[in-house]
Structure 1
Amino acid sequence: MVVRIRLASVGRRNHPMYKIVVADSHWPRDGKHLEAIGLYSPIAATKEELQTNTKRVLLDVERAKYWVATGAQPTKTVFYLFALAGILPMPPNPVLWQQKAIARYEGIGVDELGKPISKEALQEQLKTTSGQDSNTSS
């Protein structure tokens, strides 16, 4: 039995709200669960939250730590919420991972990835890559 920590939808239309639940991976998303350990509301409820773009997360930290320690696997969204709460380490930037994987595959150096680039240099790179694609397709 694989235990997952995931979100279960409890909101209404245009007002999403989710329970953070611990459930077997084979059970339905909004079905039976072992324990509810929190709530997550991605929509701002007050004007201050709207201005600062904050989201509400109510979490039983002790129970979350317990379930993570027993081997429950959080989904990506729950992992990020736990990282914000300090339960798990912050995940690395997945976009940068993808860029590095592509660069390694194409044989490009990965040292320059993630650094700011000028608009002219970006246009130059796009011209060279589009020129290579048109040459290889003929």
Structure 2
Amino acid sequence: MSVKIRLARGGAKKKPFYQVVVADERFPRDGRFIEQLGQYDPRQNPSMVTLKEDKTLEWLNKGAQPTDTVRRLLRTQGVWAKFKQA
């Protein structure tokens, strides 16, 4: 089972809102997930990102692979640097 940290889309048409989730890569984008790690709202200026830092680091240490977009969000929040230091 390959586990990914990725975005699950929510919100209305033309008004996206995303949840940062841990999911098996075989599951649909907006389908079943293992755990919710945070939220991302790109419509706010600046974009709102909230993450459960301890849970995110825990999943990264377990081997979960973030998608490119999630990796960028982790870098802006400083979580990626903490993961690389450990």
Q: Same fold (TM over 0.5)?
A: yes
For residues 102-135 of structure 1, give each alpha carbon's deviation from its aligned partner in whole angstroms, at most 9, with x where no partner exists: xxxxxxxxxxxxxxxxxxxxxxxxxxxxxxxxxx
Higher helix share: 1
Larger Rg: 1
Distance 1:23 1:72 in 2: 9
* TM-score scaled by length of structure 2: 0.90
Report % sequence identity. 41
Which residue identity does 1:63 align to in structure 2?
K
Q: Which runs of 5+ in 1 are unaligned?
A: 90-138
Higher strand share: 2
Deviation at 1:63, TM superposition (A): 0.4
Distance 2:74 2:34 in 1: 19
Distance 2:75 2:60 in 1: 12
Moved over 3 A (4+): none
Alignment partner, residue 43 of structure 2: 43
The answer to whether the aligner puts 1:71 opposite 2:63 as a matched pair is yes
Q: Which fold has the larger relative contact order, with Cα–Cα distance below 8 Å and residues 6 or more apart in sequence?
A: 2
Distance 1:6 1:19 in 2: 8
The answer to whether the aligner puts 1:10 opposite 2:10 as a matched pair is yes
Deviation at 1:87, TM superposition (A): 1.3
Alignment partner, residue 83 of structure 1: 75
**Counterpart of 1:11 in 2: which secondary structure?**
strand
Q: Which runs of 5+ in 2 are unaligned?
A: 82-86
* TM-score scaled by length of structure 1: 0.57
Which residue identity does 1:35 align to in structure 2?
E
Deviation at 1:13, TM superposition (A): 1.1
